Amino acid sequence: MDCCQIDAIEEYMDVKMARAELKGYRSDGPANTTRILLDGLRTEQVLGSSLLDIGGGVGAIQHEFLRTGSVEVTSVDASSAYLEAAREEASLHGHGDRLQQLHGDFVKLANDVPMADVVTLDRVICCFDDMESLVRLSAKRAKRLYGLVYPRDHVFSKVLVWLENAYHLLRSNRFRAFVHATESVDELIRSLGFERIFARGTMLWQVHIYRRSETWPAKS
């Protein structure tokens, strides 16, 4: 991924934003699409399994897995402010010692990131211009399930993202958002040995969960 975008994420997703989101999480719980993703994972009875959460923000998915007994939870995030917020929340509930955190570009760190039963990317693909590298490398870390939340690729979403990027440009903010083709994302994941088992969402967001085929060879 372009190092400028990683730097932009670090600058844009700062302490102020992280604290505001953490306050909202403590007050109202996970965002709607995160709830949908968690609901889908619960049907597969994987809460308590190992988790790799990429771009997990304040850690809503991580906290749920830790609460239900996971002993291996890894978070990779380009925002140090969000990592700190997630660590604070995990420590508050006595789970801090079971949360491993890595700061930086997942694409560059991927080979050093442990595999997990479940890999999640909740509103992360839309922050990466190089969708293929992110999806390919992250899906390869999933032993069993791969869950993601990303924008629908219809005109309305594209207009909203264009307006968001225009706003960032006017404010001299380097962060940019992206809408990637659903078909391209889906075909890439299936080519890596997964089948889609869950599909829900909202008007703007889609929530998909994939299961790795039992015949597909797991690779470290």
Q: Can you tell me the mean pLDDT for 187-192?
A: 98
Domain of residue 99: give its range: 3-212
Distance CA 9, CA 23 (A): 20
220 inside domain: no
Q: Can you tell me the mean pLDDT for 102-122?
A: 97
The mean predicted confidence, pLDDT, of the chain is: 94
Q: Can you tell me the mean pLDDT for 48-77?
A: 96
- Which residues are registered as beta bridge partners of 116? 142
* Cβ–Cβ under 8 Å, residues 39 and 198: no
208: left (phi over 0), alpha (psi -120 to 50) or beta: beta
219 inside domain: no
Give the count of domains, the chain.
1
3-class DSSP state for residue 208?
Answer: strand
The CATH number given to whatever domain includes residue 75 is: 3.40.50.150
163 inside domain: yes
So what's the pLDDT on residue 200?
97
Distance CA 94, CA 92 (A): 6
* pLDDT digits 0-9 by tens, 158-179: 999 999 999 999 999 999 999 9
126 inside domain: yes
Q: What is the CA 155 to chain-centroid distance, rounded?
A: 23
Q: Can you tell me the mean pLDDT for 183-201?
A: 97
Q: Cite the beta strand spans of 78-133 per DSSP E.
A: 99-103, 116-122
pLDDT band at 113 (very low <50, low <70, confident <90, very high): very high
pLDDT band at 220 (very low <50, low <70, confident <90, very high): very low
151 inside domain: yes
Q: Closest by alpha carbon to 48, among 141, 189, 149, 144?
A: 144
78 inside domain: yes
* Angle (CA) 96 141 131, round 5°: 105
* pLDDT digits 0-9 by tens, 8-52: 899 989 999 999 999 999 999 999 999 999 999 999 989 889 999
pLDDT band at 99 (very low <50, low <70, confident <90, very high): very high
User: Model's pTM, two decimal places?
Assistant: 0.93
38 inside domain: yes
At 94, list the tokens.
């006595």
63 inside domain: yes
